[in-house]
């Protein structure tokens, strides 16, 4: 079994659509829409492959504000197909995103995950992330 973690390219758009649908549900996005988003946004997207097949992805954003001297980052999405889990891919994707965010001047990275998502929380903690006491609020418009 060979695994690789790398930055996503436009050639990965169809795989990203497939994985995103498995992760977030809803309709299958057209690859062209994903490519357009990749070209328009500064979002960092990494993919994990196993034997040449894309089996996971993760996304991150960096933020700059006059309120904070250092850049802030957030890992916003992470998904790996069930059969490809527990092979170190999530840790490798996090490490690559951390490196890329650091290149953007980010000094602090946040990750939001469900409070009952124990496997993800354990992975993030193994990577050095610490739970804080913030409360997440959301409003749909």
At residue 3, the pLDDT reads: 93
The pair of structure tokens assigned to 97 is: 């995103």
At residue 60, the pLDDT reads: 97
Could you tell me the CATH superfamily of domain 3-126? Answer: Gcn5-related N-acetyltransferase (GNAT) (3.40.630.30)
The pair of structure tokens assigned to 22 is: 């498995």
At residue 133, the pLDDT reads: 80
All residues at 6 or more sequence positions from 18 whose CB lies less than 8 Å from its CB, including other chains = 28
Please list the rounded mean pLDDT of every run of 10 residues in the chain (141 residues): 94 96 93 93 95 96 87 94 94 97 93 89 94 84 93
At residue 67, the pLDDT reads: 86
Using DSSP's 3-state secondary structure scheme, residue 83 falls into: helix
The domain spans of the chain are: 3-126
- pTM of this structure: 0.91
- The sign one gets for the Cα dihedral 98, 37, 35, 19 is positive
Q: Check: CB of residue 68 under 8 Å from CB of residue 85.
A: no
């Amino acid at each position: 079994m060979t695994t690789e973690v790398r930055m996503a390219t436009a050639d990965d758009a169809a795989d990203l659509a497939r994985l995103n649908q498995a992760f977030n549900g809803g309709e299958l996005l057209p690859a062209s829409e994903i490519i357009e988003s990749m070209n328009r946004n500064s979002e960092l997207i990494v993919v994990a492959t196993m034997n040449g097949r894309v089996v996971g992805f993760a996304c991150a954003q960096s933020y700059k504000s006059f309120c904070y001297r250092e850049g802030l980052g957030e890992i916003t999405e992470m998904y790996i197909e069930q059969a490809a889990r527990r092979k170190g891919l999530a840790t490798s994707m996090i490490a690559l995103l951390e490196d890329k965010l650091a290149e953007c001047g980010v000094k602090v990275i946040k990750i939001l995950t469900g409070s009952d998502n124990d496997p993800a929380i354990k992975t993030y903690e193994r990577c050095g992330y610490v739970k804080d006491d913030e409360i997440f609020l959301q409003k749909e418009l």
